[in-house]
Amino acid sequence: MAFSDAGALLAVLLKAADAILQAGVKNGCKLLLIGSNPSAVDAAKGASSGAAGEWTEAPKNEEPLHKQTQHAKVLAKGVPDGALPGIAGRQVPLDDKITAIPALLNSQGSKVRLTFKEELQQLWLGSEASTQKVPYGSISKIESWPVEGNEGYSIVAIHLGVGGTSKYWLYYFPSQYVAGVKIRILGVQSLI
């Protein structure tokens, strides 16, 4: 190491002394310092200057879900007739006697009924036109967002498949049952 670089290193280490102590490094501990020569560092900086995901980029703020066109169209239809009442800010256990949640809307704005077929380990999503039968094992994740202005209801995304890239959207899902559905389909670990 060049003498001039050693001075710069010492200055950085002195500034970081508090951070090192806060990290739990005690007197007598051994530290391994790994470095590169300045030309290698400059070359690495130049190569990554245009790379996507660069550290200096600010995180992109997504538009809220309820304002996105695909969701806003469905939400504009309002709570469907026959929907269960929604309760904001509360989670209620999903009783074993509850085998269906009626009057939800799908991504096309059609009314659907969510039915739990425990004996088959399937979730049935039935509309007037058809019924989709989804095995519990193919559901990788369930996400939810409260409907702004009507927080008793939520938008629910059921992720299907290994990567979870395919989603089935449900609108005006009673918010108090979101955790209960996650537990019933994915198990308690889905809440952690």
Percent of the chain predicted with pLDDT > 90: 56
Residue 97 has pLDDT above 80, yes or no: yes
Q: Give the model's pLDDT for residue 32.
A: 65
Is residue 123 domain-resident? Answer: yes
Domain total of the chain: 2
Is residue 56 domain-resident? Answer: no
3-state SS record for the chain: CCHHHHHHHHHHHHHCHHHHHHCCCCCCCCCCCCCCCHHHHHHHHHHHCCCCCCCCCCCCCCCCHHHCHHHHHHHCCCCCCCCCCCCCCCCCCCCCCCCEEEEEECCCCCEEEEEEEHHHCEEEEECCCCEEEEEHHHEEEEEEEEECCEEEEEEEEEEECCCCCEEEEEEEEEHHHHHHHHHHHHCHHHHC
Residue 1 has pLDDT above 80, yes or no: no
Same structural domain, 24 and 118: no
Same structural domain, 70 and 157: yes
Same structural domain, 106 and 183: yes
Q: Give the model's pLDDT for residue 87.
A: 95
Q: What is the pLDDT of residues 162-175, one digit of tens each?
A: 776 799 999 999 99
Q: Give the model's pLDDT for residue 80.
A: 96
Residue 145 has pLDDT above 80, yes or no: yes
Which of 23-32, 135-144, 165-174, 177-186 bottoms out in mean pLDDT, i.e. has the lowest?
Answer: 23-32
CATH code where residue 149 lies = 2.30.29.30
Same structural domain, 71 and 38: no
Is residue 58 domain-resident? Answer: no
Is residue 169 domain-resident? Answer: yes
Average pLDDT of the chain to the nearest whole number: 82
Q: What type of residue sits at position 105?
A: L
Same structural domain, 14 and 44: yes
Which residues form the domain of 164?
Answer: 65-191
Q: Give the model's pLDDT for residue 175.
A: 96
The arithmetic mean of pLDDT across residues 24-46, rounded, is 68
Same structural domain, 98 and 184: yes
